[in-house]
Structure 1
Amino acid sequence: MRFTAVDLGASSGRVMRAEISGGRVDLVEAHRFPNRPVSVAGTLHWDVLGLYSQMLEGLRQAGPVESIGIDSWAVDYGLLDGDGRLIGNPVHYRDARTSGYTERLDADRYEVNGLQFLPFNTLYQLLEERLDRAETLLMIPDLFAYWLTGVRGAELTNASTTGLFDVARRDWARPLIDRLGLPARIFPEISEPGSVVGPVTAELGFDTVVTRVASHDTASAVAAVPARTPDFAYISCGTWSLVGVELDSPVLSEESRAANFTNEAGIDGTIRYLRNVMGLWILQECLRAWGESDLEGLLQAAAHAKPGQMTIDPDDPAFLPPGDMPSRIAAYCERTGQPAPADRPQAVRCILESLALAYQRAISDAARLSGREIDVVHLVGGGARNALLCQLTADATGLPVVAGPVEAAALGNVLVQARARGLAGDLREFVRRSQPLRTYHPGGGLV
Structure 2
Amino acid sequence: MHQFLAVDLGATSGRVAIGSIADGAISLSIVHRFAHEVIEDPSGSLLWNWDLIFSQVLHGLKEAAKVSKPISLAVDSWAVDYGFISSDKEIIGDIHAYRDLRNEIASKALIAKLGKERIYSTTGIQFLTFNTIYQLYASKELAEYISADKFLMLPDLINFIFSGVISTEVTNASSTQALNTSTRTWDKELIELAGINYSLFSKLHEPGTLLGTVTGYPELDGIKVVAAASHDTASAIAGIPFGNREVEAYISSGTWSLVGIESERPFTSEAAFAANVTNELGVEGTVRVLKNVTGMWLLEECRRTWRESGSDVEMAELIALAEAARGFQTLIDPNDPLFAPPGDMPKRIVDYCRERGLAAPSTPGEFAITIFNSLAHAYKKTLDEIAAVSGRKINLIHILGGGSQNDLLNQITADICGVTVKTGPVEATLFGNIAVQAISAGAVKDLAEARALIKNSFTSKEFTPR
**TM bucket, shorter chain:** over 0.9
Counterpart position of 2:63: 61
**Structure 1 residue 320 displacement after superposition:** 0.3
Paired residue for 2:138, among 128, 132, 156? 128
How many residue pairs match? The answer is 443
Paired residue for 1:257, among 242, 261, 273? 273
CA contact 2:328–2:366 (8 Å) conserved in 1: no
Return the letter of the residue paired with 1:208.
Answer: I
Counterpart position of 1:305: 325
CA contact 2:411–2:465 (8 Å) conserved in 1: yes
Counterpart position of 1:82: 87
Gaps of 5+ in 1: none
Paired residue for 2:52, among 50, 53, 62? 50
CA contact 2:5–2:61 (8 Å) conserved in 1: yes
Paired residue for 1:276, among 288, 292, 301? 292
Residue 374 (structure 1) aligned with residue 394 (structure 2): yes
Return the letter of the residue paired with 2:278.
Answer: T
Counterpart position of 2:239: 224
- Per-residue Cα deviation, 1:317-340 (whole angstroms, up to 9, x for no partner): 010000000011111111111111
Residue 29 (structure 1) aligned with residue 30 (structure 2): yes
Gaps of 5+ in 2: none
Counterpart position of 1:110: 120
Counterparts of residues 29-428 of structure 1 (less than 5 Å): 29-41=30-42, 42-63=44-65, 64-100=69-105, 101-102=107-108, 105-130=115-140, 131-206=145-220, 207-230=222-245, 231-291=247-307, 292-422=312-442, 423-424=444-445, 426-428=449-451
SS at match of 1:15: strand
**Structure 1 residue 157 displacement after superposition:** 0.1
Q: Percent identity at matched positions? A: 42
C-alpha separation in 1, matches of 2:380 and 2:103: 29
C-alpha separation in 2, matches of 1:212 and 1:233: 25
Return the letter of the residue paired with 2:207.
Answer: P
- Per-residue Cα deviation, 1:393-432 (whole angstroms, up to 9, x for no partner): 0001110101111111111000100011111352221111
Return the letter of the residue paired with 2:93.
Answer: G
CA contact 1:9–1:35 (8 Å) conserved in 2: no
CA contact 2:376–2:412 (8 Å) conserved in 1: yes
Return the letter of the residue paired with 2:134.
Answer: Y
C-alpha separation in 1, matches of 2:293 and 2:386: 13
C-alpha separation in 1, matches of 2:378 and 2:217: 49
Counterpart position of 1:2: 3
Return the letter of the residue paired with 1:119.
Answer: T
C-alpha separation in 1, matches of 2:436 and 2:74: 9
SS at match of 1:111: helix
Q: Which runs of 4+ in 1 moved over 4 A?
A: none
TM score, norm. by length of structure 1:
0.97
C-alpha separation in 2, matches of 1:337 and 1:204: 62
TM score, norm. by length of structure 2:
0.93
